[in-house]
Structure 1
Amino acid sequence: MGAHLDDEVLFVGTRSKSAAREEHTTRDFEYYFDDGDCVIRVEDTVFRVHRFLLTRDGSAFADMFSLPPGSGTSEMPEGSSDANPIRLFGESAEDFRALLFILYALPPDLLYYNTSAANIPHLLTIASITHKYHFHRTSNWAISSAFRVLSDTYGTPTCNPSTASASLLARILEVALRCAHEPLTKLAEDIWAHRVLTCELHPRRALALADAHGLRLLGGAAYYAQLLEMEDGFQDPRDGSNTSGDNSDDTPLGNLSQPTPGAQDAVDEIPALTEGQRRRLLCGHWSLVRLWEQLRARAPVFRRPEGCTYHARGCLSTWGTVWDEAARAEETLARPPADVLGRLAVMEARLTADSDLQTALTPACRRRALLAVKEIIKETKEELAGHFIDLTVRPQASE
């Protein structure tokens, strides 16, 4: 028998008894109960459990057990013994053990997951496998518990996403997306994007996942950070020089070399750039340089605060002059042409310390002017993804 679960397939079936005897199996050390009424084999591990637990919450197992038995009525039904177990293909014994853990868990067992020391990888496995087999309430509990822990509800978590590896952040984000948990998706995306922009993590891993799932904030940050790492000839120093051969959009270009010091990602975790990604990086460079020319040419405008009697010809005029000077400053222009955020950060520091703004602007106008700079930086970060669009792809003609 078999059942189809969304994009994942649960294969269930049996082999001949003679074939079963020839294969080596091991009874699970924890979930093999003598009084169990359902024998399930996953990989080479045999579990003997209680069927009623598997049928809770309208799970896929409830549907599976309701299917009519096979035509071989003389044989013992599937799941009745070690020699004739229900076979789950495409599943790991470790993950199935996590499913049984949560099905058999007692209230005291769950208290640990409401603390900052909670095992996040285990919670994610529980959330993923219960979602896969349609234990909806259990899956919602697990993914919500992970969010509460990671969002500092119980204090700084032992498994802190602000210091976690890219692999763990990817796992958090993938499970959150699978379970459609928007708060955890946003939390993980925000943290990962920040750590990529601050050069704590290599952008390539984030870039690949953002492309796969259409994550604009993370994708924009990853493309931007990757762009700033490109050297002359538009090569990443982490890539080797071998870029020959035919490469499709999904074929990596170049060989991986050692990451720069301080990078937390292992070399084998860093995917090479595809041709499509390289085109988007080139288009992003062009777009960001244009954005900088627009930003530097006109100081951000802010509303006149109450009490400012010489706003247009006084405060705004001085603000525009000082803005232009900051944009032309050697320190600002030392940043790469496409590093709009870097140049704006340099300008913000100069403008904050500028003596002319402190004396020529009213205190309220100065506050609003500096807040306008912060708002531009915030908007630029949020809209980074919009710059990395492949302009070589011809848009489809409307019918």
Structure 2
Amino acid sequence: MMTVASNEFEDPPTRDQTYYISDGNTILQVENTLFKVHRSMLIKDKSTFDSMFSLDAYTHNTEDPQMNNTSEGESDENPIRLHGDKAEEFSALMWSLYSLPAELALAMTNQANDLQLIHLARIAHKYQFRSTESWALGALTTYHSNTGGSTSVQNLVQITELSILCDCKALLDAAVTKWKRLLGEGRAVAVAIGVAERLNLRSLLGLAYYSMMLKGREVWDSDPQLNARQRIRLLSGHYNLIRLCEELPSSPPRLTHDHSCVRKGKCKNAFAAFWRLILTTKDGGLVGQVLKLQSADLLAKVMLAESIIRAFAEGNIPNLDLSESGEMHEKCLQIALQAAHDKVKEVQDNLVDLFSDVV
């Protein structure tokens, strides 16, 4: 027999308004809601229900015929009880099985109900509706990869968890992109820290800690969502970033010469001087913008350095005084630009390592 347990609810269960179908032949109870659907729909896609019903049929056929047994699922009084599921999840599964093509097509647009798709993907994964799970994950990925697809922070948490549960990299990438957008706006930072720690998302975790650090210690200490260990990590990260920012002007990215360059060490020295000029000048204008950044804002500094080198390489800063640094071979300048780009990526990839538990 299938799951049998005493009624967990004080109030009698109520029939679902949409999926208590008059000619259905199987009654299931999820939480305090009754669903009456067609068994043939439940066994689609070789789902777990297929094997469950096969086992139930075998058990029923081998029971003593003298015993008066009423099979589960044949009446409201003896439904098949699905424990651990939510009624809205099962309703989403029924929606996917009974909907018309036009209704399903809507889920691939900006008008999709992302919470319904979350419920669907989760329960489809649990009961091994493989094609349904794949379709729901695809719809969610399409929705959340589109900049027009909006979602609440609570739903974004569920999307991130779901992508890990179902091992869906495309959906995870879309979710992380939305988290980064929120962090850039200074929103839901503590939530992002909690999610990234729980799911071990290193790149997101580093950016989340970094975003919180830039808010300042007064914010860290007053945010109720942060615990003592997380505040220690923020202090550690602040200290490490201050130190790296102090070292940054004298630590240019490694430059390799173009094979056609005959200047040997001159380009390397010129790039080192240019890098130092970008990060230490007290002049105003484009280069001086770096002084407006926070002293620990390492990522912004290397990103600004890259943008200045790019602008210079493209001839958009024609009057920049490089008398201290000297000229660079044109092709070596392009290599320097790539080196600066690699430096930005290196900082982004290693941010999380700067926020250790020890100050």
TM-score interval, normalised by the smaller of the two chains: 0.7 to 0.9
Give secondary structure in 1 for the equivalent of 2:240.
Answer: helix
1:342-377 residue CA offsets vs partner (Å, 9 max, x unmatched): 222343455444342998223323232233212211
**Counterpart in 2 of 1:366?**
333
Contact 1:25 1:45 in 2 (8 A): yes
Greater helix fraction, Structure 1 or Structure 2: 2
The one of 232, 237, 240 equivalent to 1:284 is 237
Cα distance, 1:322 vs structure 2: 2.3
1:379-399 residue CA offsets vs partner (Å, 9 max, x unmatched): 11122112222237xxxxxxx
TM-score, scaled to structure 2: 0.83
- Residues 1-399 of structure 1 correspond to what in structure 2 (within 5 A)? 12-15=3-6, 23-65=11-53, 66-67=55-56, 68=59, 73-152=67-146, 158-160=148-150, 164-196=151-183, 198-231=184-217, 235-236=218-219, 240=222, 255=224, 272-313=225-266, 315-330=267-282, 331=288, 332-351=290-309, 352=311, 353=317, 354-356=320-322, 360-391=327-358
Cα distance, 1:307 vs structure 2: 4.0
1:311–1:51: structure 2 CA closer, same or farther, 3 Å change rule? same
Contact 1:96 1:129 in 2 (8 A): yes
Q: Distance in 2 between matches of 1:191 and 1:367?
A: 32
* AA of the residue aligned to 1:373: A
* AA of the residue aligned to 1:345: M
Segments of 5+ residues of structure 2 without an aligned counterpart are: 283-287, 312-316
* AA of the residue aligned to 1:301: R
Q: Distance in 2 between matches of 1:187 and 1:114?
A: 15
1:232-287 residue CA offsets vs partner (Å, 9 max, x unmatched): xxx316x54xxxxxxxxxxxxx64xxxxxxxxxxxxxxxx2111212222222233
Cα distance, 1:54 vs structure 2: 1.4
Give secondary structure in 1 for the equivalent of 2:68.
Answer: coil
Segments of 5+ residues of structure 1 without an aligned counterpart are: 3-11, 241-253, 256-271, 393-399
Contact 2:121 2:133 in 1 (8 A): yes
TM-score, scaled to structure 1: 0.75
1:174-221 residue CA offsets vs partner (Å, 9 max, x unmatched): 11111110121122213313441x234231111000000100011010
Q: Distance in 2 between matches of 1:119 and 1:346?
A: 39
Q: Distance in 1 between matches of 2:28 and 2:97?
A: 15
1:314-363 residue CA offsets vs partner (Å, 9 max, x unmatched): x3222212222222234535533322112223434554443429982233
* AA of the residue aligned to 2:24: G
Cα RMSD after superposing both structures: 2.9
Give secondary structure in 2 for the equivalent of 1:273.
Answer: coil
1:73–1:107: structure 2 CA closer, same or farther, 3 Å change rule? farther
Contact 2:49 2:127 in 1 (8 A): yes
**Counterpart in 1 of 2:314?**
none
Contact 2:206 2:352 in 1 (8 A): yes
1:63–1:73: structure 2 CA closer, same or farther, 3 Å change rule? farther
1:46–1:215: structure 2 CA closer, same or farther, 3 Å change rule? same
Identity of aligned residues (%): 32
Q: Distance in 1 between matches of 2:329 and 2:11?
A: 84
